[in-house]
């Protein structure tokens, strides 16, 4: 997410930023403007909150390892070091989660703040603090003390360069102290970015609003192809209140077909798409390519005889990366100080999110259950009608402070289902549809629009206070699968696929999270709030959620595919990724296992696989179509293509350009630039190319399958000729598919000088959407990379210092610091760095040593 700079100040900011940029290049003022915020990394510093010294090692890439005698000292030092390297992004993110962007950037951000205040992420985080275990609160408070110790006595421009740019339009801004609640609120941002199928729910409503019949909309969302793309745990059942794996056939669950509110009500809900997409996302822009890969292989299939675990979360391409590589180590690991963990952390949050300790390793991918429902509410004054009777709305007032302007007050109202996202204060886009809907006062369909007052409410599991923060510390110190499962029990939102391996040779999987049980409906369509039968009744019991330890296959693959098959008795969601990535990983693992024991290098090779599996169904038809000129020359590239989308592949460039131009020809009912998930489009096209009589081939511009394929190839060839030249053989996918990592706050300001300061790239990349090397892109916008494997990690349980990892950009958040982007080119090339975990390896690799003293 990148905020917009208020237009009224853009001219001034542009002039000042340009002067600053020139100064950086020519005037010798770099030390004053940039280096003054670089952290001290060697020697000694005083940190009064500590009880004993803490040692901080940094290697040649600025990767940090902390050694302390107590957990409190360890997390105090973590807060201090995070603030040293990343405080601007921490501060920016806490303004996002609190709905306080207008305090930074002015009046343009008031609508965004209003949405965030309405959902109340910060309020939920405040309520969560008191629910947490006492030691969790201690650790969070210790972290905050460390952050504040770093900030003490520093001006804003001594903390980060971004504050110097901000001062051009907001010179009055002062940094506030950090608090434990600031850390907890980060979990709400993570949950929002990874929340279930809400965009699919709104998309379906939008298509109905455009006039597509429900049957045609349903065709666009086919059932998961579980026969072709294996779920994570096929054969999952529930017996005697526990999840079991059973290969026997079981009765299909009874799914209620969702009743859809009448046409104008659906049209009203469809109007939510644009304003909700404007809500900031700390993991990058909203995209169907947000997901992840992870897999774990038991020792029976590895060269060492102990497990290997791989993980690469697919998130937005932001600068700096959301991840920070760090080791948190107790000097003596015992019951009083049990932490010896290395992995990827979130600046602003205590502990390690993904990584390994001295006994186990774990990874995450997004499970993607349906944990958000939108309800259409029938209002009567300050009440919502439920089962024919009024039910008072809850109300509160929020004050939004505005840099350079007057405060703005909004009234937030909530029904039993959650906050109302459509109240007038939130903007004209939502006001326009709340006044009329073709339903009677009882909520029944009517032929014409009836006068009335309607609103849209959001039910979301993350708006109920929970204990996910406890899970982080339980994970960090778990040393058995049972302890790992207990940690997962409190990991409520966002629900993730958790994979596991340990030094005893065990591998496992656990699905955690709050997953609602609905009275009626399946969550795929907006629900009528006036009928309590559609309310959430409870959450799925943890013991009935999918889990396995040491499966017969000897490996577990999770890549956002279906977790279970259709025999599982509970509804998790129907909106899975359609499993091309996961099945490709399974195929590669099986081949590697057949060739002999897997190594760390084999796991990395799989992470970097560039095969476009969806192209296998389409290419045989493309090569048979009659085309001429450049399209005919390019067509020859496809005949011998191995379906690998390497950066230097000419065939990949032509195929993806063809695919980009084919989508609007086939799915013109969805608009000029159809938004459709890659794996979804692949599955649909696989079926459609075998059905030339399908109505989907007949549109405004083409009337048959072969005509659509021909026109798409001709347009692709013309576009690539213009972009890449007339020599077809010289076309390169990486020349189209480039990555520019943009600063989350100023990276799309529209001011070239500011963007130059903070953005990095472009770099050529291979891969693509729904490819294992998941460099996602949006065909409606172009070929530029939008989502990425935000990090890559492979853990070797036989020799932890043989593990490898890479971050997208670098550990530092300071522009022009040596570690701001020193991993970017390595990441693009598929290079990995040593992931050192033992103290001897850490000390040997240390380039800098800093001692923090009480």
Two tokens at 483?
A: 């302890």
Longest CA–CA separation in the chain, Å: 77
The residues that bridge with 327 in the sheet, in sequence order, are: 65, 342
DSSP secondary structure letter of residue 413: E
Neighbours of 520 (CB within 10 A): 16
Whether this model's pTM surpasses 0.85 = yes
Rounded Cα gap, residues 781 and 652, in angstroms: 18
The reported pLDDT for the residue numbered 454 is 75
Rounded Cα gap, residues 631 and 628, in angstroms: 6
Rounded Cα gap, residues 329 and 78, in angstroms: 11
Rounded Cα gap, residues 757 and 804, in angstroms: 31
Radius of gyration from C-alpha coordinates of the chain: 27
Question: Which residues of the chain, if any, have pLDDT below 70?
Answer: 1-33, 196, 247-289, 424-453
The helix (run of H) or strand (run of E) holding residue 656 is helix 650-666
Query: Could you tell me if 768 and 775 are in contact, meaning their C-beta atoms sit under 8 angstroms apart?
Result: yes
User: CA nearest 680: which of 803, 811, 579, 828?
Assistant: 579
CA 414 centroid distance within chain = 27
Phi, psi of 669 (to 5 degrees): -65, -20
Query: Could you tell me if 276 and 115 are in contact, meaning their C-beta atoms sit under 8 angstroms apart?
Result: yes
User: CA nearest 755: which of 738, 776, 740, 734?
Assistant: 740
Query: Could you tell me if 814 and 820 are in contact, meaning their C-beta atoms sit under 8 angstroms apart?
Result: yes
* Sign of the C-alpha dihedral computed for residues 10, 16, 17 and 22 taken in this order: positive
Two tokens at 91?
A: 């501060």
Q: For residues 201-220, b (16+ Cβ closer than 10 Å) or e, as one string?
A: bbbbbbbbbeebeeeebebb
Q: For 39-70, where are the alpha helices, taking DSSP H only?
A: none
User: CA nearest 470: which of 187, 124, 192?
Assistant: 187
The reported pLDDT for the residue numbered 671 is 82
SS3 call for 187: helix
Rounded Cα gap, residues 415 and 171, in angstroms: 40
DSSP secondary structure letter of residue 726: S
What residues contact 248, with CB distance under 8 A and at least 6 apart? 235
User: CA nearest 681: which of 591, 612, 578, 781?
Assistant: 578
The residues that bridge with 458 in the sheet, in sequence order, are: 374
The reported pLDDT for the residue numbered 442 is 41
Rounded Cα gap, residues 763 and 559, in angstroms: 25
Helix-helix angle 180-193:121-129, to 10 degrees: 130
Please name the residue that has the structure tokens 């930023």: 17
* Sign of the C-alpha dihedral computed for residues 502, 504, 508 and 513 taken in this order: negative
User: CA nearest 794: which of 366, 312, 353?
Assistant: 312
Query: The sheet that has 354-356: what strands, in order across it?
Result: 43-46, 848-853, 54-58, 64-68, 324-330, 340-345, 354-356, 360-366, 496-502, 507-510, 547-549
Rounded Cα gap, residues 338 and 573, in angstroms: 37
Neighbours of 372 (CB within 10 A): 22
Rounded Cα gap, residues 21 and 381, in angstroms: 55
**Residue 663 Cα distances to 514, 576, 643, 668, 729, angstroms:** 36, 21, 19, 8, 25
Neighbours of 755 (CB within 10 A): 19
Rounded Cα gap, residues 516 and 492, in angstroms: 11
The helix (run of H) or strand (run of E) holding residue 237 is strand 236-239
DSSP secondary structure letter of residue 37: G
SS3 call for 633: helix
Rounded Cα gap, residues 124 and 414, in angstroms: 14
CA 466 centroid distance within chain = 20
Query: Could you tell me if 55 and 849 are in contact, meaning their C-beta atoms sit under 8 angstroms apart?
Result: yes
The reported pLDDT for the residue numbered 453 is 66
Rounded Cα gap, residues 336 and 169, in angstroms: 49
Torsion of CA 392, 396, 402, 405, to 10 degrees: 70
Rounded Cα gap, residues 27 and 786, in angstroms: 35
The reported pLDDT for the residue numbered 210 is 74
Rounded Cα gap, residues 387 and 532, in angstroms: 6
What residues contact 700, with CB distance under 8 A and at least 6 apart? 668
Strand duo 394-400 + 536-539: pairing: unpaired
What residues contact 642, with CB distance under 8 A and at least 6 apart? 611
Rounded Cα gap, residues 779 and 676, in angstroms: 9
Two tokens at 147?
A: 């952050």
User: CA nearest 765: which of 826, 822, 677, 721?
Assistant: 826
Neighbours of 713 (CB within 10 A): 26
What residues contact 592, with CB distance under 8 A and at least 6 apart? 598, 602, 606
Query: Could you tell me if 293 and 603 are in contact, meaning their C-beta atoms sit under 8 angstroms apart?
Result: no
User: CA nearest 372: which of 537, 515, 562?
Assistant: 515
């Amino acid at each position: 997410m990148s905020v917009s700079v208020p237009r009224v100040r853009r001219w001034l900011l542009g002039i000042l930023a340009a002067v600053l940029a020139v100064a950086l290049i020519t005037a010798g003022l770099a030390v004053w403007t940039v280096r003054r915020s670089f952290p001290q990394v060697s020697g000694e510093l005083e940190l009064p909150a500590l009880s004993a010294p803490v040692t901080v090692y940094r290697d040649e890439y600025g990767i940090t390892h902390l050694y302390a005698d107590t957990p409190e000292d360890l997390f105090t030092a973590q807060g201090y070091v995070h603030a040293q390297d990343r405080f601007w992004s921490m501060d920016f993110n806490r303004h996002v989660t609190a709905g306080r962007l207008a305090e930074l950037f002015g009046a343009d951000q008031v609508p965004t703040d209003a949405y965030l205040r309405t959902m109340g992420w910060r309020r939920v985080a405040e309520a969560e603090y008191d629910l947490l275990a006492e030691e969790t609160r201690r650790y969070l408070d210790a972290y905050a003390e460390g952050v504040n110790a770093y900030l003490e006595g520093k001006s804003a421009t001594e903390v980060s360069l971004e504050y110097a740019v901000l001062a051009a339009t907001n010179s009055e801004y002062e940094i506030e102290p950090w608090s434990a609640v600031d850390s907890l609120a980060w979990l709400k941002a993570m949950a929002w970015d990874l929340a279930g199928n809400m965009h699919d729910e709104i998309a379906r409503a939008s298509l109905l609003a455009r006039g597509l019949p429900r049957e045609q909309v349903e065709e666009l969302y086919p059932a998961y192809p579980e026969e072709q793309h294996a779920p994570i745990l096929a054969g999952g059942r529930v017996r005697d209140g526990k999840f079991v794996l059973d290969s026997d056939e079981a009765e299909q669950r009874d799914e209620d077909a969702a009743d859809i509110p009448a046409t104008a009500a659906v049209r009203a809900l469809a109007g939510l798409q644009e304003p909700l997409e404007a809500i900031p996302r700390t993991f990058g822009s909203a995209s169907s390519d947000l997901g992840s890969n992870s897999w774990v292989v038991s020792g029976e299939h590895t060269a060492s005889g102990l497990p290997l675990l791989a993980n690469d979360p697919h998130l937005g391409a932001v600068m700096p990366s959301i991840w920070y590589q760090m080791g948190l180590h107790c000097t003596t690991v015992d019951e009083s100080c049990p932490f010896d963990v290395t992995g990827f952390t979130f600046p602003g949050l205590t502990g390690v999110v993904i990584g390994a300790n001295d006994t186990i390793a774990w990874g995450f991918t997004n499970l993607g259950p349906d944990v958000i429902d939108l309800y259409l509410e029938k209002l009567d004054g300050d009440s919502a009608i439920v089962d024919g009777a009024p039910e008072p709305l809850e109300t509160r007032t929020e004050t939004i402070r505005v840099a350079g302007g007057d405060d703005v007050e909004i009234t937030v109202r909530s029904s039993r289902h959650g906050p109302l996202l459509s109240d007038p204060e939130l903007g004209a886009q939502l006001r326009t549809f709340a006044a009329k809907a073709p339903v009677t006062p009882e909520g029944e369909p009517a032929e014409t629009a009836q006068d009335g007052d309607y609103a849209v409410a959001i039910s979301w599991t993350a708006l109920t206070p929970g204990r996910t923060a406890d899970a982080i510390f339980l994970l960090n110190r778990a040393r058995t699968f049972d302890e790992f499962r207990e940690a997962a029990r409190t990991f409520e939102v966002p629900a993730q696929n958790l994979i596991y391996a340990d030094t005893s040779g065990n591998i496992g999987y656990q699905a955690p999270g709050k997953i609602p049980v609905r009275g009626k409906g399946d969550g795929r369509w907006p629900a009528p709030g006036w009928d309590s039968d559609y309310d959430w009744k409870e959450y799925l019991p943890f013991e009935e959620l999918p889990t396995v330890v040491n499966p017969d296959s000897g490996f577990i693959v999770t890549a956002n595919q279906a977790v279970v098959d259709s025999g599982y008795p509970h509804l998790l969601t129907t909106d899975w990724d359609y499993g091309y990535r996961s099945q490709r990983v399974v195929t590669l693992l099986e081949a590697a296992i057949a060739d002999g024991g897997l190594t760390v290098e084999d796991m990395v090779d799989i992470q970097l696989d560039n095969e476009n599996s969806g192209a296998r169904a389409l290419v045989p038809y493309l090569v048979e179509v009659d085309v001429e000129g450049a399209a005919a020359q390019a067509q020859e590239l496809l005949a011998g293509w191995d379906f690998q989308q390497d950066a230097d592949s000419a065939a990949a460039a032509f195929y993806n350009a063809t695919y980009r131009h084919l989508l609007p020809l086939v799915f013109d009912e969805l608009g000029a630039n159809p938004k459709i998930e890659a794996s979804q489009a692949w599955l649909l096209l696989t079926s459609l190319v075998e059905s030339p009589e399908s109505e989907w081939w007949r549109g405004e511009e083409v009337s048959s399958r072969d005509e659509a394929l021909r026109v798409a190839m001709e347009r692709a060839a013309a576009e690539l000729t213009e972009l890449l030249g007339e020599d077809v053989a010289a076309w390169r996918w990486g020349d189209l598919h480039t990555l520019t990592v943009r600063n989350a706050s100023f990276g799309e300001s529209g001011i070239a000088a500011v963007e130059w300061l903070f953005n990095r790239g472009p770099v050529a990349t291979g891969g693509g959407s729904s490819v294992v090397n998941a460099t996602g892109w949006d065909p409606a916008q172009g070929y530029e990379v939008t989502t990425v494997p935000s990090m890559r990690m492979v853990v070797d349980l036989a020799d932890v210092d043989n593990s490898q990892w890479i971050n997208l950009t670098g550990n530092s958040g300071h522009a022009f610091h040596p570690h701001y982007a020193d991993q970017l080119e390595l990441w693009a090339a598929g290079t990995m760095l040593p992931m050192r975990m033992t103290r001897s390896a850490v000390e040997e690799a240390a380039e800098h040593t800093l001692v923090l003293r009480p």
